Chains A and B, each alone.
Chain A
Amino acid sequence: MAWLGDTYVIIFLRLMRLSTYQLFLLIVFAGVSKAHVGTAQDFLNLPVSIRAEGASLRSVLGSIEKQTGVKFVYSSRNIGSERPVSLQMKKVKLLQVLEELLPPLHLTYKVINGQIILDSKLAVESPTALPQAEPVLRSISGVVEDQKGEVLAGVSVILKGTQTGTVTDDKGQFKFGIENEDAVLAFSFVGYITNEVPVGNQSVLNIILQSDIGNLDEVVVVGYGHVRKADLTGSVVSIKESQITSTPVTNVLETLQGKVAGMDLTRASGESGAAVNFTIRGNRSLNASNQPLILVDGVQYGSYIDINPNDISSIEVLKDASSTAIYGSRGANGVILVTSKKGKPGKTKIEFNNYFGINNPTDYQRVTNTSQFVAMTREAYRANGQWNSPADDATIFNVLLDNINAGIDTDWTGLMLHNGTVQSNHIAVSGGSEKTKFRLSSEYFNEKGSLEHDQLRRFVQHLNLDHQVLDNVKLGMVLNFNSSSQQRRNTSFWNLIKNSTLGIPFNQDGSINKYPFPGSFAFNPLLDESLENYTNNTSSSRIFLLGFTEWSIRKNLSVKSSFGLDLANSQQGVFEGSNTTLAGVNNGFSRSALSDVKNRSWTWENVINYFTKFGNHSINAMAGTSMISYKTMTFSGEGKDQPFLSSSFYNLGTNTKDVITNSSLTESALGSVFGRINYKFKDRYLLTASLRSDGASVLAEGHKWAYFPSLAAAWRILEEPFMLVIPHWLSDLKLRASYGVSGNSAIGAYQTQGGLSKVAFSFDETPAFGYWPKLLANKDLSWEKTSTVNFAADFGFFSNRILGSVDLYRTSTRDLLMDRILPSLTGYSKTVDNVGKTKTRGVDLIISTRNYTSANFSWTTDLNFATFKEQIVELSEGGDDVSKSWFVGKPLRVFYDYEKLGIWQTAEKDQAQAYAKLPGEIKVKDQNGDGRITATDDRVVLGQAAPKWSGGINNNFKYKNLSLSVLIYARVGQTIASDYFSHYYPGGTTAVVDYWTPENPTNNYPRPWINRTDQFLSTLKYVDGSFWKIKDVRLSYSLPSVLLKKTVLDSLTLYGTAKNFLTFSKIKDYDPERGGSVEFPLTKQLIMGLNVNF
């Protein structure tokens, strides 16, 4: 990183090293000011008691406010708030109080927007007249509109610091008198962000209110239904359209990185089309999958979401068991619901979204160059007593000497890593009538990775169609067609870094030097760059079809039946020519292989919904059935020695050697019955109960079925009358608690049966294939079950300018589905079994703040933070399973090895001798101090693979038509096993490290030693993988509506994104998000895009 030397950058880095905690505090407490919004509903029925003898009207109103939480808005002078009143009423409805109190005072009231506006009778009698202004210095007037330019009636306008105020009329106009220039007016309206405006010397204020996306009336998708956010009892994070498309990604799940508390997500590699690794709230299962269930419009989809991000309207992440238990056996790892976009009635809309970007490999860890190699090799032979001076170079370098003297120093990595590109073109047409709605879209996506020919091309066609057949019958379908072609490269990064810098890549005529390495017949890796010589192409197509019909039998009773079909076919063809680096593996022949995978799954679900409301009770009940069937067929063939290079993998029949075919069939099924009841009392007591019964074919007879119950309660505590005493900066508070059980049956089919596998043999030339047992059958295999307890609080402060929630949870998983490693002396290596328990405890925190909002400028922040502690509670009877690095009381994935203390120094010769070591070799800790280093006693847990905490902060700034968003993502506390740092084999190219010599008594790396490979080399690879990065920076500009009015365009946005651009960690030249591997480093992207709507 050359720029590290720059002074400014250093200062910048120091600034950036403010810990994330500090940053968090800064954001939460910056620039948040008070405002108020009424939350009461039906409050005219709230009970009130008044006992006033000549008290001022103001104090009476105040008392009512305290008891009921309602807010009165009035001009003190207008209503004469200091007038004495007398009134005695006990536990009567507020309505009655007002009827009693106001008329004698010639006052009237109006309920607007949850507030009670008081005015003198005069105003009521002539409703168009605005409240009379007081004799004041100045009068302020203006119009309040929303973002779309529509006027807003009923917006309360309050002089900050007083209860004086007014409301806008039906034309959105207001008029108000103020007394001094310091006045600040607060404009508030339900569903919109309160806007506070200093009046200054203006007399006309035209205000635009931004709609509040954190609004509690927002609808959230949950399993088999929707629910108002306010009525939610479980832990659900909803990511909306604008957040999904804010970063250009291949796999839409990547947009969730740094945005969902408790979701740990990393990119798997920098290869084009690479997958993402993700878990929700840590790992529970040691062997079965820890991947969440992903559903698209309610139907199970694989973990690789190849849907066009522009076609997605929302992604909901269900985290606690009360939300996921409705998915029963598939819900234990969390559920991700992807909802596709639908058409809206009205004008036909067309959108074009295009972007283009450059993929730049992040810095690469280089191996020793020639001079480093020479120095290290000399030392390695010196250690062995075979090198004393450069006079011995000829012996030790032998055939390499000429190239060393010629100064050959080839940077193979530099020759093979290139900048890639990424491009996406998307068009969508949507619209329809009240009866029929449609949305049709296409995307072309093309990504080139950092190796020559590493490429993914994708074409996605999406159709969403709804039609109201009868008044009470609706039909609909979703169709997603995906066709892709991916060219993958021989993952030879390992070779790449091991290649000697002494190799000469090109002949003098510029052609590729076939054998570049002196004294070796290893092929030139550049040969692999030719498609004729090495090709690995996967073409896939996938049809995802969902059809449904919904019958509203009565107003509050409906039935929905849906059938989803997912057909995915892919074909991978590989051709490895006889001149590739793989030739050695292939016996010097070319190899061609073709493999076909056909997946077919269908889901048929029937759901009945019933809704009723009586008095203060409302009940929403749902019941359904589900059948899912999966089938996978594979076919593959391969052969060697293809006589016609041009045939590549298209004619396997012409191969002359080692022709092999294989095929397989895997079928499994899941049948379920489920139901759920949502009960709500008085809008503030919420209860959800659900039960699902699942049967899975993959489990053993008699263990196939199980029940998954859940129960959740929520209490909108702020609605309680006794909460009147709360300070007014608290604008929302809800407490939630839930418990549920969900399952995991993510094991392969047929594991309960055992089976035979084939082994080749022959007598003379007569085939004698053998069939021997492969798997030890487990006839008791059952579900893995996870129960989760979740306690949470949702809160809002300062008119919901700060919104957030905090979740505390504890999951316990039992009967883990696990590969039980068997002693090999049984003749088996493993069996699948239900053994062991794990638990995870954690905290998820989400906070959204609107730090500053004005007509022209706004600043908002979304922050999330998650920490969890995984623990293995119990394994099979004997405790720890060292062979798998599983230890009771430790996290699920840990690194277990000797603990490196340093290097044995010359002065420690005698101590080293006691351990049969020499100075210069790695010194590991004798944990039990018995004077011997043994595998049984001296290996310890060195670190965990899961982060200790992770979090993201997204700051959005908007100034007029310009907006900037910056996403910072941090993942801290994980250890990674670095391939690079353990690549230390002196005599060849190795990691560039500080190694021990008698003259350099370091404690980092052992002495290079030509015939002595250090026993503890593996201890060198464990490094702290913590990092934080500026994940995305996006700057966009939308054309002002004034300009657009003259065109057919509705909007036009131009943006630039810098993705994954700056990463800060302890490891130089490496992005630790990659997890330690040297293959396909993660890339940085610079993207320019244009979105047009008309």
Chain B
Amino acid sequence: MKIVQYITSTIALLAGVVFFSCTDFLDETNKNTVTGDKFYGTAEGMESLINACYAPTRIWYGKVIGHLLTEAGTDEMLYGNTAAGSYPFYDYNANLQGTNDGLFFVWKSFFKGVNTCNIAINRVRESALSADIKTKREGEARFLRAFYYYHLVETFGAVPLRTQETDGPEMTAKRDPVDEVYKLIFSDLESALEKLKGVTAAQGGRVTEPAVAGFLARLYLTRNMNPEALAMADRVIKNYHYQLMSDFAALWDINNSNGNTNSEVIWFVNYSENNTLNDYGRYDDLGYFWLWEGGNHGHLLYLPLFVGVKGWQYNLETGRPLIQYMPSKYLIDLYDETKDSRWKGTFRTVWLANDETTLPQGVAIGDTIAVVSKTVVSEVYRKSKRYTIFDANDIYQINGVPTIPRLRFAALRKFADPTRSGKDVVVSKRDAFVIRLAEMYLIAAEASMKLNNNAAAAEYINVLRQRAALPGKALNMKIAASDVSLDFILDERAREFAGEQLRWFDLKRTGKLLERLIKYNPDAGPNIKSFHQVRPIPRVEIDVLQNKGEFVQNPGYN
């Protein structure tokens, strides 16, 4: 059959052509990336993995969501005019729920950090790094895993404890008790302390021995392990090269914003002048909104806007006002500006005329144009000045509730960065100070007090108060052992650390969250409940799990 021959030979020919080529035609080679199995075995690969372990620190320190979870809803800070979308964090209203995407962002970013650390810890010993480096890198990864878990466990309560890298889909999870999580945290930190022994010089943001020690001191205090906290804080104060800056304001000068060279900074999250080294969100799929460009964003959040003040315009010097936070009446009343340099070191209260186009008659560029006063000013005094005064009564009502529209108030200036390349520029190179020496004194003080040694506590506190004293006021600043109380320490912490992303944890640790919010935060006071001491677990996370019945939401949230 000729036809059959034709057909068979043609098919055979065509099929042959296809299959011959098909042997490699369907092979897939990804030239865009490599797989971890191949890459992490190499020295460069392991170093890059360790670098990646650090990346999630940047979603919290110096970033919007990190401030929201530590400064909003505390006794220090109230919401400013434009904070609308984040109200639940400030006033604990019923919308503080697991559906908040900021909480989910923190959750997934830190767990991504945990998984990355797990990979590093599990594989570093098999990598091509030199033995010495291996030990250090493992120490760094262990510190970071503990660091992420600390934030997770304090924020969300019981969380799943994960120590192995994820190698396949897992659709169930369980929440491990807080104590179990802390066991891992302490074992990691104690191991890191050992592995990083001798790494005491600043490492550009890498974890060092004193960084681990400082963080351990904070955590011992948190867990009420007071002798350990005292010893560890003391070790940091005495054993390393750190020194308090003589001038509190200089501590926050942009020229001292490099954590690597600032003598008081024990550990920091590094930000770079080159924003392509800052930009976390663009390189991954974790979400972009909460990162909003790279760099430190602290400088935006605490600034007022003097709407309606003629002759004034926000500028590079005074910063771009995002009007997210304003200080509470409690906070500004804490400072005695007559003796404590920390009032001026923390807050800007004077603004100068700088807008030619709206300049009122008789005022020159550079003249004072607006002043915020923490006291009440008389009408007579007001009229005697060319500039506008916003006094305590203009800003706060008698009950401490700010008057609307919450636009004008004292500006927390700690994060100011006048070296940004334009007045609207969001990116700041300012490093986010995570642990500084002053905290060690206050940890030591609090631990001493709890160990019934108020005299020692007063001594530690006085070191900071002496540094803060205005010239000639050193004696006035000094406190006695009898002055020491938990509330005093919390007040002192507010004066020292206002805005430094510690407050919510401080209040939670000392069990004062409810008491102080009811007392000092008129927005949050009416709403705060005991269950607010942990945040809701992100709703989508529970939704996706197959054992929803076991992985239950924190009480009080839905």
Question: Is A347 part of the contact surface with B, judged by Cβ < 8 Å?
Answer: no
Question: Is A929 part of the contact surface with B, judged by Cβ < 8 Å?
Answer: no
CB <8 Å contact, A588 and B424: yes
CB <8 Å contact, A1011 and B545: no
Q: Closest residue of chain B to A698, judged by CB?
A: B28
Known A658-B276, A772-B112, A826-B115; contact A750-B32, beta-carbon cutoff 8 A: yes
Question: Is B14 part of the contact surface with A, judged by Cβ < 8 Å?
Answer: yes
Known A758-B283, A827-B115, A1013-B84; contact A881-B544, beta-carbon cutoff 8 A: yes
CB <8 Å contact, A671 and B25: yes
Digitize A971-1012: 1 where CB-to-B-CB distance is under 8 Å, 0 elsewhere.
000000000000001010000000000000000000000011
CB distance from B224 to the nearest CB of A (A): 28
How many angstroms from the CA of A871 to the CA of B427 in the assembled complex?
48
**Within the complex, which residue of A606, A659, A664 is in contact with B276, where a contact is CB–CB below 8 Å?**
A659
Question: Is B26 part of the contact surface with A, judged by Cβ < 8 Å?
Answer: yes
How many angstroms from the CA of A338 to the CA of B52 in the assembled complex?
49
**Within the complex, which residue of A589, A820, A881 is in contact with B169, where a contact is CB–CB below 8 Å?**
A820
Question: Is A136 part of the contact surface with B, judged by Cβ < 8 Å?
Answer: no
**Within the complex, which residue of A608, A773, A826, A831 is in contact with B11, where a contact is CB–CB below 8 Å?**
A608
How many angstroms from the CA of A1012 to the CA of B523 in the assembled complex?
12
Contacts of B546 in A (CB 8 A): 876-879
CB distance from B478 to the nearest CB of A (A): 38
Mark out the residues of chain B between 1 and 41 whose CB falls within 8 Å of any chain A CB in the assembled complex.
Answer: 3, 6-7, 10-11, 14-15, 17-18, 21-22, 25-36, 39
**Within the complex, which residue of B159, B277, B403, B544 is in contact with A761, where a contact is CB–CB below 8 Å?**
B277
**Within the complex, which residue of B276, B427, B544 is in contact with A587, where a contact is CB–CB below 8 Å?**
B427
How many angstroms from the CA of A583 to the CA of B277 in the assembled complex?
21
CB distance from A239 to the nearest CB of B (A): 33
Q: Closest residue of chain A to B82, judged by CB?
A: A520
The stretch from B94-102, B188-196, B334-342, B499-507 touching chain A is B94-102
Mark out the residues of chain B between 104 and 162 whose CB falls within 8 Å of any chain A CB in the assembled complex.
Answer: 104, 107-108, 111-112, 114-116, 118-119, 159-160, 162
**Within the complex, which residue of A386, A760, A879, A1013 is in contact with B279, where a contact is CB–CB below 8 Å?**
A760
Known A754-B35, A755-B35; contact A765-B51, beta-carbon cutoff 8 A: no
CB distance from B318 to the nearest CB of A (A): 14
Question: Is B284 part of the contact surface with A, judged by Cβ < 8 Å?
Answer: yes
How many angstroms from the CA of A665 to the CA of B544 in the assembled complex?
33
Contacts of A1013 in B (CB 8 A): 84, 87, 95
Question: Is A624 part of the contact surface with B, judged by Cβ < 8 Å?
Answer: yes
Contacts of B539 in A (CB 8 A): 935
Question: Is A704 part of the contact surface with B, judged by Cβ < 8 Å?
Answer: yes
CB distance from B556 to the nearest CB of A (A): 11
Q: Closest residue of chain A to B321, judged by CB?
A: A521
CB distance from B420 to the nearest CB of A (A): 8
CB <8 Å contact, B35 and A756: yes
CB <8 Å contact, B108 and A877: no
CB distance from A256 to the nearest CB of B (A): 34
CB <8 Å contact, B33 and A756: yes
**Within the complex, which residue of B30, B107, B165 is in contact with A749, where a contact is CB–CB below 8 Å?**
B30
Known A759-B52, A764-B260, A1013-B87; contact A673-B422, beta-carbon cutoff 8 A: no
CB <8 Å contact, A759 and B307: no
CB <8 Å contact, B32 and A658: no
Contacts of A395 in B (CB 8 A): 403-404
CB <8 Å contact, A761 and B28: no
Known A770-B54, A934-B558; contact A764-B204, beta-carbon cutoff 8 A: yes
Known A553-B6, A826-B166, A876-B171; contact A763-B15, beta-carbon cutoff 8 A: no
**Within the complex, which residue of A764, A771, A833, A877 is in contact with B270, where a contact is CB–CB below 8 Å?**
A764
Q: Closest residue of chain B to A584, judged by CB?
A: B424
Question: Is A557 part of the contact surface with B, judged by Cβ < 8 Å?
Answer: yes
Question: Is A647 part of the contact surface with B, judged by Cβ < 8 Å?
Answer: no
Known A625-B15, A657-B275; contact A882-B543, beta-carbon cutoff 8 A: yes
Contacts of A759 in B (CB 8 A): 51-52, 55, 280, 283-284
Question: Is A1042 part of the contact surface with B, judged by Cβ < 8 Å?
Answer: no
Question: Is B393 part of the contact surface with A, judged by Cβ < 8 Å?
Answer: no
How many angstroms from the CA of A1011 to the CA of B546 in the assembled complex?
37
CB <8 Å contact, B558 and A935: yes
CB <8 Å contact, A589 and B277: no
CB distance from A611 to the nearest CB of B (A): 11
How many angstroms from the CA of A883 to the CA of B53 in the assembled complex?
27
Question: Is A89 part of the contact surface with B, judged by Cβ < 8 Å?
Answer: no
Question: Is A932 part of the contact surface with B, judged by Cβ < 8 Å?
Answer: yes
DSSP majority for the A interface?
Answer: mixed
Mark out the residues of chain B between 38 and 75 whose CB falls within 8 Å of any chain A CB in the assembled complex.
Answer: 39, 45, 48-55, 58
Contacts of B274 in A (CB 8 A): 762, 765, 767
Q: Closest residue of chain B to A623, judged by CB?
A: B11
Contacts of A704 in B (CB 8 A): 26
CB distance from A548 to the nearest CB of B (A): 15
Contacts of B272 in A (CB 8 A): 762, 764-765
Contacts of A398 in B (CB 8 A): 307-308, 404-405, 407
Contacts of A749 in B (CB 8 A): 28, 30
CB <8 Å contact, B25 and A627: yes
Contacts of A774 in B (CB 8 A): 33, 284-285
Question: Is A766 part of the contact surface with B, judged by Cβ < 8 Å?
Answer: yes
How many angstroms from the CA of A672 to the CA of B272 in the assembled complex?
53
CB <8 Å contact, B95 and A833: no
Known A697-B28, A753-B28, A825-B173; contact A769-B7, beta-carbon cutoff 8 A: no
Known A627-B25, A821-B544, A829-B108; contact A755-B32, beta-carbon cutoff 8 A: yes
Question: Is B205 part of the contact surface with A, judged by Cβ < 8 Å?
Answer: yes
How many angstroms from the CA of A612 to the CA of B426 in the assembled complex?
76
Question: Is A822 part of the contact surface with B, judged by Cβ < 8 Å?
Answer: yes
CB distance from B58 to the nearest CB of A (A): 8
CB distance from A816 to the nearest CB of B (A): 15
How many angstroms from the CA of A521 to the CA of B320 in the assembled complex?
11
Contacts of B365 in A (CB 8 A): none
Question: Is B324 part of the contact surface with A, judged by Cβ < 8 Å?
Answer: no
How many angstroms from the CA of A881 to the CA of B171 in the assembled complex?
11
**Within the complex, which residue of A399, A608, A826 is in contact with B111, where a contact is CB–CB below 8 Å?**
A826
How many angstroms from the CA of A676 to the CA of B182 in the assembled complex?
67
How many angstroms from the CA of A924 to the CA of B21 in the assembled complex?
62
How many angstroms from the CA of A625 to the CA of B16 in the assembled complex?
10
Q: Closest residue of chain A to B271, judged by CB?
A: A762
Mark out the residues of chain B between 192 and 243 whose CB falls within 8 Å of any chain A CB in the assembled complex.
Answer: 203-206
**Within the complex, which residue of A608, A827, A831 is in contact with B114, where a contact is CB–CB below 8 Å?**
A827
CB <8 Å contact, B35 and A658: no
Contacts of B6 in A (CB 8 A): 553-554, 557
Question: Is B250 part of the contact surface with A, judged by Cβ < 8 Å?
Answer: no
Contacts of A876 in B (CB 8 A): 171, 546
CB <8 Å contact, B278 and A756: no
Known A833-B169, A935-B98; contact A756-B84, beta-carbon cutoff 8 A: no
Digitize A635-663: 1 where CB-to-B-CB distance is under 8 Å, 0 elsewhere.
00000010000000000000001111000
Known A936-B548, A985-B84; contact A772-B52, beta-carbon cutoff 8 A: yes
Mark out the residues of chain A between 690 and 716 whose CB falls within 8 Å of any chain B CB in the assembled complex.
Answer: 695-698, 704
Q: Closest residue of chain B to A756, judged by CB?
A: B33
Contacts of B93 in A (CB 8 A): 1012
Mark out the residues of chain A between 739 and 783 whose CB falls within 8 Å of any chain B CB in the assembled complex.
Answer: 749-750, 752-774, 776-777
Contacts of A583 in B (CB 8 A): 424
Q: Closest residue of chain B to A387, judged by CB?
A: B404
CB distance from A518 to the nearest CB of B (A): 8
How many angstroms from the CA of A829 to the CA of B111 in the assembled complex?
10
Digitize B275-309: 1 where CB-to-A-CB distance is under 8 Å, 0 elsewhere.
11111101111100000011000000000010110
Contacts of A199 in B (CB 8 A): none
Q: Which of B173, B206, B544 has the most CB of A within 10 A?
A: B544
Q: A664-B32, A876-B546 are in contact. List 9 more A-B contacts (CB 8 A).
A: A587-B293, A587-B422, A587-B426, A671-B18, A695-B26, A824-B111, A883-B544, A936-B548, A1015-B94
* Sample (12) of A-B pairs whose CB atoms are under 8 Å apart: A399-B307, A588-B422, A589-B421, A627-B25, A657-B275, A668-B28, A671-B25, A695-B22, A756-B36, A765-B277, A770-B50, A936-B548
